[in-house]
Amino acid sequence: MSAAFADPLTLSELFDIRLPNHIDEQPLKIYGKIPPSLHGTYYKVSPALRAGFPNAYRHLFDGDGFVQLFRFGSGTVSHAGRFVATSKYQSETKLQRYSLPTFATVFEDATPIKTPDDINVANTNIIVHGDRTMALWEGASAWQLDPQTLSSMGPVDWKKSLTHAPFAAHPRPDRDGSLWNFGHVPWAGKLILYHIGHDGLLKRSAILNAPETGMVHDFAVTDRSLILVIPPFRYDPHRADHTSSFLDMHRWHEAQPVEILVIDKSSFEIRRRHQINPGFHFHLGAAREFSDGTIELDMCQNRDASVLQNLFLDQLTARPGAQPLQKQVLLRPISTTGTVQTIHERPRKFPHSPLAHTGQPDRPYGWSIGLDPKTGLFRFAQGIDMATGKVDQFDYGEGTYLEEHIFVPDPQNAGNSGWLIGLHHSINAGTTQLSVFNAFQLSDGPIATARLNQAMPPGLHGSFTTTQA
User: pLDDT of 54-101, one tens digit each?
Assistant: 999 988 899 999 999 999 998 999 999 999 999 999 999 999 999 999
Asked if residue 2 has pLDDT above 50, the reply is no
Question: Which secondary-structure segment (H or E) carries 95?
Answer: helix 87-95
357 beta partners: none
Pairing of strands 348-352, 365-371: antiparallel
Asked if residue 449 has pLDDT above 70, the reply is yes
pLDDT of residue 112: 80
Handedness of CA 100, 105, 109, 115 (dihedral sign): positive
Residue 264: which pLDDT band, with cuts at 50, 70 and 90?
Answer: very high
Closest C-alpha among 439, 366, 364, 401 to residue 46:
401
Q: What is the DSSP letter of 250?
A: E
Pairing of strands 284-289, 270-276: unpaired
Task: Select the more confidently predicted residue: 344 or 461.
Answer: 461
Which value, to the nearest 10 degrees, does the dihedral of the CA atoms of residues 226, 229, 234, 235 take? -30
Residue 413: which pLDDT band, with cuts at 50, 70 and 90?
Answer: confident
The full set of domain ranges for the chain reads: 8-166+294-465
Q: How far apart, in whole angstroms, are the C-alpha atoms of residue 83 and residue 126?
A: 13
Which 3 state secondary structure label does DSSP give 464?
Answer: strand
Asked if residue 171 has pLDDT above 80, the reply is yes
Q: How far apart, in whole angstroms, are the C-alpha atoms of residue 72 and residue 42?
A: 8
Query: What are residue 89's phi and psi, to 5 degrees?
Result: -60, -45
Residue 4: which pLDDT band, with cuts at 50, 70 and 90?
Answer: very low
> How much is the average pLDDT of 422-451?
94
pLDDT of residue 323: 66
Question: Which secondary-structure segment (H or E) carries 15?
Answer: helix 8-15
Residue 316: which pLDDT band, with cuts at 50, 70 and 90?
Answer: low
pLDDT of residue 317: 52
Task: Select the more confidently predicted residue: 356 or 38.
Answer: 38
Asked if residue 469 has pLDDT above 60, the reply is no
> How much is the average pLDDT of 343-355?
59
Q: What is the DSSP letter of 308?
A: H
Q: How far apart, in whole angstroms, are the C-alpha atoms of residue 74 and residue 81?
A: 21
